[in-house]
Chains A and B, each alone.
Chain A
Amino acid sequence: MKKTLKENIKENYAELKLSPEQWRSLDSLQQNRAGKHGIRFFLKISFAAMAASVLLLSLYLFQGSGSLAGKIADEVAYNHNKNVQMEIKTASIDEVQSFLSKIDFTLIHSERLPLEQWELLGGRSCSIQGRLAVQMKIQNKANGKLKTLYQVPYPKELSHIKSVPMETYASGVKVRLWRERGLLLGLAGG
Chain B
Amino acid sequence: MFSREELNQFYRYCVALTGDEDEAYDLLQDSFEKFLRKGRDVHSAKAYFRGIIRNHFIDQYRKGAKHGFTELDENIISTNETSLESLIANKEEARFILNALDFHDRELLYLWAVEEYTAKELADLLKSPRGTILSKLHRLKIKIKQCLENGYEKDIKRKHQGKLRRA
Are A and B interaction partners? yes
Task: Report which A residues bind B (CB closer than 8 A).
Answer: 2-6, 8-13, 16-18, 22-23, 25-27, 29-30, 33-34, 36-37, 40
Contact A23:B7 (CB < 8 A) given known A29-B36, A30-B2, A40-B39: yes
In contact, A26 and B88 (Cβ under 8 angstroms):
no
In contact, B21 and A16 (Cβ under 8 angstroms):
yes
In contact, B7 and A18 (Cβ under 8 angstroms):
yes
Q: Which residues does chain B contribute within 8 Å of A16, judged by CB atoms? A: 8, 11-12, 15, 21
Contact of A9 among B11, B88, B113 (CB under 8 A): B113
Contact of A10 among B21, B29, B90, B114 (CB under 8 A): B114
Q: Which residues does chain B contribute within 8 Å of A40, judged by CB atoms? A: 39
In contact, A5 and B16 (Cβ under 8 angstroms):
no
List the one stretch of B62-70, B93-101, B121-129, B156-164 in contact with chain A.
B93-101
Q: Which residues does chain A contribute within 8 Å of B93, judged by CB atoms? A: 5, 8
In contact, B84 and A5 (Cβ under 8 angstroms):
yes
In contact, A25 and B87 (Cβ under 8 angstroms):
no
21 contacts between A and B (CB under 8 A): A4-B85, A5-B84, A5-B89, A6-B85, A8-B89, A8-B94, A9-B98, A11-B91, A11-B94, A13-B16, A16-B12, A17-B11, A18-B7, A18-B11, A22-B11, A22-B25, A23-B7, A30-B1, A30-B32, A33-B37, A36-B39
Q: Taking the nearest CB of chain A, how far is it from the CB of B42, in angstroms?
A: 12
Task: Give the contact-size bracket for chain B.
Answer: 35 or more
Q: Which residues does chain B contribute within 8 Å of A13, judged by CB atoms? A: 12, 15-16, 110, 114
In contact, B12 and A9 (Cβ under 8 angstroms):
no
Q: Taking the nearest CB of chain A, how far is it from the CB of B9, in angstroms?
A: 9
Q: Which residues does chain B contribute within 8 Å of A3, judged by CB atoms? A: 88-91
The answer for the CA separation of A22 and B7 in the assembled complex, in Å, is: 10
Contact of B91 among A8, A17, A23, A37 (CB under 8 A): A8
Contact of B87 among A6, A30, A36 (CB under 8 A): A6
The answer for the CA separation of A6 and B1 in the assembled complex, in Å, is: 30
Contact of A29 among B4, B16, B32, B90 (CB under 8 A): B32
Q: Taking the nearest CB of chain A, how far is it from the CB of B119, in angstroms?
A: 15
Q: Which residues does chain A contribute within 8 Å of B87, judged by CB atoms? A: 4-6
Given contacts A9-B109, A18-B11, 7 further A-B contacts (CB under 8 A): A3-B88, A8-B91, A12-B98, A13-B12, A16-B11, A18-B7, A30-B2
The answer for the CA separation of A22 and B33 in the assembled complex, in Å, is: 14
Contact A6:B8 (CB < 8 A) given known A25-B29, A26-B29: no
Binary interface encoding of chain B residues 28-42 relative to chain A, with 1 for a CB under 8 A from any of its CBs, else 0: 110011001101000
In contact, A26 and B21 (Cβ under 8 angstroms):
no
In contact, A5 and B95 (Cβ under 8 angstroms):
no
